[in-house]
Structure 1
Amino acid sequence: MLIIVTYDVSTETREGRKRLRRVAKVCEGTGQRVQKSVFECRVNLMQYEELERRLLAEIDQKEDNLRIYRLTEPVELHVKEHGNFRAVDFEGPLVI
Structure 2
Amino acid sequence: MLVLITYDVNTQDVAGRRRLNKIAKLCVKHGQRVQNSVFECLLENCDYKMLQHELLKIADLDKDSLRFYKLGDKYATKIEHFGAKATYDPQDVMLF
Fold shared by both chains (TM-score > 0.5): yes
Percent identity (aligned):
38
What's the CA shift for 1:89? 1.5
Deviations 1:18-73 (A, max 9, x none): 00000001100000000000000000011101100110010001000000000144
Match of 1:64 in 2: 64
In the other structure, the counterpart of 2:86 is 86
The 1-side partners of 2:73 and 2:57 are apart by 29
SS of residue in 2 equivalent to 1:12: coil
- Any gaps of 5 or more consecutive residues in structure 2? none
TM-score by structure 2 length? 0.90
Q: Describe the shift of the 1:39–1:81 C-alpha distance in structure 2 as closer, same or farther (beyond 3 A).
A: same
What pairs with 1:7-22 in structure 2 (closer than 5 Å)? Answer: 7-22=7-22
Alignment partner, residue 2 of structure 2? 2
Q: How many residues align?
A: 94
Letter in 1 for 2:91: E
- Name the aligned partner's letter for residue 46 of structure 2: M
